Amino acid sequence: MSPSAIESFSAPAQTVSFDGILSDFDGTIVDSTDAIIKHWHKIGKELGVDPETILADSHGRRSIDTLALYDQGKANWDYVNYIEGQIPKEYGSDAKEIPGGRDILRALETSGAKWGVVTSGTRALISGWLEVLGLTHPENLVVAEDVPLGKPDPRCYLLGAKMIGLEDSKSVLVLEDAPSGIKAGKAAGYKVLALATTHSLDKLRAAGADWIVEDLRSLKVHSVVDGKVQVEISNALQ
């Protein structure tokens, strides 16, 4: 088999079932890359730190953990909630949905599946993006301030599973784009569908993703049968 065939997003469609689904947000449902770059350039100037240095390690990491590397005085929730709450207000036009993201949220909500969102962003940030982009609001939402440690620590996903009543189940599908999030999902004992939206295929594979797809157009929610949500994964990497 040629290298190009090995690297193609062309795996046959397969239907799998899970007790529930937990999704990351930034890079998975929403692409706010341009907004986040502008945000960290602004904060970098205030901190006197090269923003490119901050951006090199900030994706998938809580802002409070990133700030702690440069200024412990700003690594507090009051400050983090304030600056993240400003992002959708100041840079709302710089964000867009990941292809398929809007449809997946709507399908999860209408299907009756057990699902939730687990993000490294604050409640202020996620609420802002949901409002600006007019996306389905998740009833179950785990945000940065809900856990003592961010991804790759698995506690965020374990808390998400508890919220949807699946704390004793390992039949959970995690949707992620960042290696730290993939590692968190795997450490929690779950299957992970990775999106090649923000990181290289090598990094996604190394993190332990079970499937890699280009975006959420490759995931379809069919129905809930006997409490299990049936999903179809198509055009995965092979």
CB-CB contact of 153 with 147 (8 Å): yes
Indicate if the pLDDT at residue 1 is higher than 90.
no
Environment class of residue 44 by beta-carbon count within 10 Å: exposed (0-12), middle (13-18) or buried (19+)?
A: middle
Active site residue 210: no
Whether 11 has a pLDDT exceeding 60, the answer reads yes
| Helix or strand holding residue 225 (H, E) | strand 219-225
- Check whether 24 has a pLDDT greater than 80: yes
Of residues 232 and 4, more confidence is placed in 232
Q: What are phi and psi of 104, to 5 degrees?
A: -65, -45
CA–CA dist 202, 206 (Å, integer): 6
Q: State the pLDDT at residue 6.
A: 59
User: In the annotation, is 26 catalytic?
Assistant: yes
Q: Give the number of other CB atoms < 10 A from CB of residue 203.
A: 15
Q: Which of 19, 24, 31, 177 is catalytic?
A: 24
Q: What is the pLDDT of residues 177-224, one digit of tens each?
A: 999 999 999 999 999 999 999 999 999 999 999 999 999 999 999 999
pTM of the entire structure?
0.92
